[in-house]
């Protein structure tokens, strides 16, 4: 059973912030939730942090789906959901042999490559890229795999979807629904690998109100952000998080 420092006020504050970031992401603010595991990893192991936050993800996903039930890309979901579940299965099978540090480093490098490429392309007019099956399967599986390992499926997802320049609400809804399904798909594998304990499940449930508040706040914020600014924020967040992931992969 995991020994959570639940009596440490600093840990409780950080856990509340982590839950809030998960909620903000479910409300439509992209990649913010990727901060949750790194934040909690200052007190507990990354694996324990991932297990602690999964119930928060699953419950807040329900509210996220309700918020964006009319805003999503059906074509993208038809490709990304089965590919993502396949990636979860690969992550499950490789859990004991794949280094978390290596996965984190690869995610960070890919995210930085995407951001640099996008910055270069902004100097010339480029039409939005259509959703396509080969890239959708590739990035969908990568999202499922990295989501299983460290709840870090956002960078591969963004690399596939951002070039499509979807409406911001459709983008938010597609990501919310996709990761809601992937998070639910992770429950049985996490349980079978012994990643749940009474302590982290109870604490996770107690943190759900903070996540729900974050989801509501995120859904209100995204509706007032201009479309161009929204995508600038997406790529800025991805760049900063990718830098953090590369640093963690090198020094961790």
* Predicted confidence pLDDT, tens digits, the chain (252 residues): 445 665 678 888 989 999 998 988 888 776 677 778 777 877 877 777 888 899 899 988 998 899 899 999 999 999 999 999 999 999 999 887 777 677 667 767 877 877 777 676 665 555 677 778 999 999 999 999 988 877 878 888 988 998 898 898 999 899 999 999 999 999 999 999 888 877 778 888 889 999 999 989 988 888 888 867 877 776 777 788 778 778 877 886
Please give the pLDDT value at position 31.
67
221 by DSSP, 3-state: which? Answer: helix
Distance CA 116, CA 118 (A): 5
Please, which residues have CB within 8 angstroms of residue 93's CB and are 6 or more apart in sequence?
none
pLDDT at 183: 94
**Helix and strand numbers, DSSP H then E, in the chain:** 11, 0
Residue 1 is predicted with a pLDDT of 45
Length of the chain: 252
Cα separation, 148 vs 47, whole angstroms: 10
Q: What pLDDT score does 206 carry?
A: 87
CA distance 158 to 33: 14
Smallest CA-to-CA distance from 179 within 67, 46, 62 is with 62
Give me the pLDDT at residue 4, please: 62
Q: Rounded CA gap, 60 and 147, in Å?
A: 16
pLDDT of residue 197: 79
Q: Any idea which residue has 């990761």 for tokens? A: 179
Give the integer Cα–Cα distance in Å for 56 and 206: 9
């Amino acid at each position: 059973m995991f020994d959570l420092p639940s009596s440490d006020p600093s840990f409780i504050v950080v856990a509340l912030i982590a839950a809030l970031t998960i909620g903000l992401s479910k409300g439509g603010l992209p990649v913010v939730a990727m901060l949750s595991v790194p934040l909690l990893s200052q007190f507990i192991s990354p694996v324990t942090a991932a297990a602690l936050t999964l119930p928060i993800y699953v419950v807040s996903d329900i509210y996220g789906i309700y918020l964006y039930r009319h805003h999503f890309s059906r074509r993208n979901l038809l490709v990304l959901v089965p590919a993502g579940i396949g990636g979860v299965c690969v992550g499950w099978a490789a859990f004991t042999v794949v280094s978390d540090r290596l996965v984190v480093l690869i995610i960070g490098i890919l995210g930085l490559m995407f951001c640099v490429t996008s910055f270069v392309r902004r100097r010339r007019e480029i039409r939005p890229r259509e959703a396509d099956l080969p890239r959708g399967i590739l990035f969908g599986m990568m999202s499922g795999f990295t989501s299983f390992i460290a709840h870090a499926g956002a960078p591969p997802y963004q690399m596939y979807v951002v070039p499509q320049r979807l409406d911001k609400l459709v983008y938010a809804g597609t990501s919310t629904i996709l990761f809601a399904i992937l998070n639910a798909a992770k429950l049985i594998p996490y349980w079978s690998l012994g990643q749940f304990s009474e302590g982290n499940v109870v604490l996770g449930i107690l943190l759900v109100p903070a996540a729900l508040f974050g989801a509501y706040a995120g859904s209100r914020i995204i509706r007032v952000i201009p479309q161009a600014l929204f995508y600038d924020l997406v790529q800025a967040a991805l760049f900063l998080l990718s830098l953090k992931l590369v640093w963690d992969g090198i020094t961790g």
